[in-house]
Amino acid sequence: MAKKRKSARPTSKPATARDPAPVERPSVESPPPAEPPPAPPSRRRFLTVVSASAVGAGAVGLWYSRREDDPDRPQRPSRREDAGAGPAPIPAELHTYDEHEFRTLDAIAGVLLPADEDPGARETGAVVFIDREMQRPAFESAARRLKVAVKAFDFLSKERLGRGFVDLAAAEQEVIVRAIFDGEADRGLFEGRAFLVLMVSLVLEGHLSEPSYGGNRDGAGWSLVGFQPMPPRGTGPDAGGHHHG
Segment 3-47, tens digit of pLDDT: 555 555 555 555 555 555 555 555 555 555 555 444 434 444 444
Task: Tell me what percent of the residues of the chain surpass a pLDDT of 90.
Answer: 37
Cα separation of 43 and 41, whole Å? 6
The per-residue pLDDT for range 71-102, each reduced to its tens digit, is 444 343 333 444 445 777 888 899 999 999 99
* Greatest C-alpha distance within the chain: 128
The pLDDT of residue 174 is 94
Name the residue ranges covered by the structural domains of the chain: 92-224
User: What is this structure's pTM?
Assistant: 0.62
Q: With cut-offs at 50, 70 and 90, classify the pLDDT of residue 56.
A: very low
The pLDDT of residue 138 is 94
The amino acid sitting at 112 is L
The pLDDT of residue 32 is 54
Cα separation of 17 and 36, whole Å? 52
Mean pLDDT of the chain: 71
Average pLDDT over residues 216-241: 55
The pLDDT of residue 84 is 46
The per-residue pLDDT for range 100-119, each reduced to its tens digit, is 999 999 999 999 988 877 77
Average pLDDT over residues 145-150: 97
The pLDDT of residue 14 is 53
Average pLDDT over residues 46-56: 44
- CB atoms inside a 10 Å sphere around CB 94: 15
Phi, psi (rounded to 5 degrees) for 49: -75, -50
Region of poorest pLDDT, from 54-63, 118-127, 176-185:
54-63
Q: With cut-offs at 50, 70 and 90, classify the pLDDT of residue 200.
A: very high
Cα separation of 12 and 153, whole Å? 74
